[in-house]
Structure 1
Amino acid sequence: MYIIFIGTGWFSYVFSLVNLDIYFSKNHWDRYTNFAELSLHILCAIGIYIGRFLRFNSWSLVTQPKHFLSILPGELIGKFPLVVIVLTIAIIAGLYALCKPLVAKSSLYRE
């Protein structure tokens, strides 16, 4: 069951970024595609670290903004967070590079 949930979430992410790529292409912003994809990979990796290691959830910024914003900068600075975030970026970017062509050519995908 978890494999289905993880796969659905992952391919939703890939579909979203492929749609962003198409949107950029249609608006002649092709040169920004790689920057946008990498930026989103970085933000997702930071979000994964915040959720898995700092144990915050998506509502923490709304329900505990002072606590969240006071703890966050200090917790993201250090060797361990940096290593985890960089490894997560590498994993996300690598898997995305493998899945992007599959999604873009998929019969499920339409422009």
Structure 2
Amino acid sequence: MVRPRKPEVERRSRTICVRVTTAEAAEIAERAAAACMTEGGYIRRRALGQPVHTATVHRLGAREWVELHRIGVNLNQIARALNSGASAPAGTLEAVERGAELAAGLLTGEALDR
């Protein structure tokens, strides 16, 4: 199915040219790449005062992947039990919150606190 056309007021039909030095162009390209954006999108957001968030990529090792998988398996078992009508035992909410903290620690590169 074809996506409907945007209304005329929402179409980006105007072009604004800006001259920059080679160094400035390289810095804009670097910052846009760090934000996982195109250069044009990056410049547009900055010029309009909209926030630009830098994407942070953390590489997980084998140990972290195993821990993250275990957390996911445990959460899946909890969800399956609750969806089948089982009542949540005492401490379930705290366990889920701790699992979320551990997963966030893995994804942000923080060391596991055991």
TM-score by length of 1: 0.29
Decide which structure has the larger Cα Rg and report it: 2
More helix by share: 1
Q: Which has the higher contact order (CA 8 A, sep 6+)?
A: 1
TM-score by length of 2: 0.28
